[in-house]
Amino acid sequence: MKIVVTGGAGFIGSAVVRHLLLQTQDQIVNLDKLTYAGNLESLADIADTPRYHFIQADICDRQTLDQILAEHKPDAIMHLAAESHVDRSIDGPAAFIETNIVGTYTLLEAARHYWKTLDAASQASFRFHHISTDEVYGDLEGTDDLFTEDTPYSPSSPYSASKASSDHLVRAWQRTYGLPILVTNCSNNYGPRHFPEKLIPHMIINALHGKPLPVYGNGQQIRDWLYVDDHARALHQVLLKGEPGETYNIGGHNEMRNLQVVETICDLLDKLAPERRPEALGSYRELISFVTDRPGHDVRYAIDASKIEQELGWRPQETFETGIEKTVRWYLENPTWWQRVLDGSYQLERLGA
């Protein structure tokens, strides 16, 4: 197959690109605008693969999208390009509306017009795979409730509202125009090469610098954690075997309170990097501090992933314990990657500065 991956320089996107290049013979066209969260250094190990082609482009640029699709003639589009940080969406929602809603609309229209140029067999096999989040469902009240593919949407933040909007657009293009679409909604991802503003890498890096580990509210918010490579495998399985028009929820079977996550990171660092701990501290846990909760903070997310497991045969390979240790070890072993993100040099180099 030839696959266009949008947002392939981001955290999840780069994991998908890497999986496809290392585990298949597919040709990959990575289309990424390279905003602050896009980092080509995350793909340095596969950048010279002959089956890989990178294009810096904006999904809001219809003319460029038309040119890319006409030239590369993909069999599928995996759409991961999105603004995704809740705190940033609260401070500046405009970028989320532009990228997640307008960008998805523009890409859908480019895909639809390209799809109409294909012969009947190619139209039938083409897929537009839209990758979304469980945050579109809002939060759960009961301790045993789970998000299913039929859970009504109730987004809480500008980010999740913009993703909910994009999900609706994708489904409308299938119903109205017949575009063969797939939608997946995943739980919180984590793993190597995660942008440092996110909870897990932020806590690892702050701890290594002896800085406070800020936990929102009382830290009792619950999330289901999905190792990013497990997610990449799931997305590939959906692309290959998913039924057009269907939605598949992807979860990690790892519900954890935010405070538990931070404490687990501290315990791992106590084991793996005791020499980096400030002398005055007996444990990295002593760096934990509680800060004012953010507006509209969802209490609990949890995914029912039985549909993808039963129909497509996917299950996560990593437990939280194995995945978080791999993650902490990666950050300890790859300080250059995250230091270049923190000081901005990963962006300056690509701009020729």
* pLDDT-derived band at 352, boundaries 50, 70, 90: very low
Q: For this structure, is 36 an active site residue?
A: no
The answer for residues whose C-beta is within 8 angstroms of residue 290's C-beta and 6 or more apart is 214, 215, 216, 217, 218, 219
Beta strands per DSSP E along the chain: 2-6, 27-32, 52-56, 76-79, 127-133, 181-186, 188-190, 213-216, 222-227, 247-250, 255-257, 288-291
Has residue 106 got a pLDDT over 70? yes
What are the residue ranges spanned by the domains of the chain? Answer: 2-194+225-256+300-320
**For position 350, what pLDDT does the model report?**
57
pLDDT of residue 294: 80
Of 198, 190, 181, nearest in space to 104 by CA = 181
Which residue of the set 32, 41, 134, 224 is catalytic?
A: 134
Asked if pLDDT for residue 290 goes beyond 80, the answer is yes
Of the residues 114, 159, 190, 346, which is catalytic?
159
Active site residue 159: yes
Q: In the 8-state DSSP scheme, what is residue 40?
A: G
Calpha distance 179→126 (Å, rounded): 8
For all residues of the chain together, what is the average pLDDT? 95
Per-residue confidence (pLDDT) for residue 84, from 0 to 100: 85
> How far apart are the C-alpha atoms of 289 and 267, rounded to whole Å?
16
**d(C-alpha 89, C-alpha 160), whole Å:** 9
Residue 150: C-alpha distances to residues 147, 174, 211 (Å): 8, 17, 42
CA distances from 230 to 3, 31, 66, 192 (A): 19, 22, 32, 12
Segment 246-255, tens digit of pLDDT: 999 999 989 9
Task: Give me the catalytic one of 41, 58, 135, 224.
Answer: 135
Determine the CATH number of domain 2-194+225-256+300-320: 3.40.50.720
Whether 105 is a known active-site residue: answer no
* Per-residue pLDDT tens over the stretch 221-266: 999 999 999 999 999 999 999 999 999 999 998 999 999 999 999 9
Residue 315 is given by DSSP the state -
pLDDT of residue 353 exceeding 50? no
How confident is the model over 164-198, as pLDDT tens digits? 999 999 999 999 999 999 999 999 999 999 999 89
Record the tokens describing residue 207, joined without a space: 């701890």
Residue 141 above 70 pLDDT? yes
DSSP symbols for 263-295: HHHHHHHHHH-GGGS-TT-S-GGGGEEEEPPPT
pTM score, whole prediction: 0.94
DSSP-derived letter for residue 147 is B
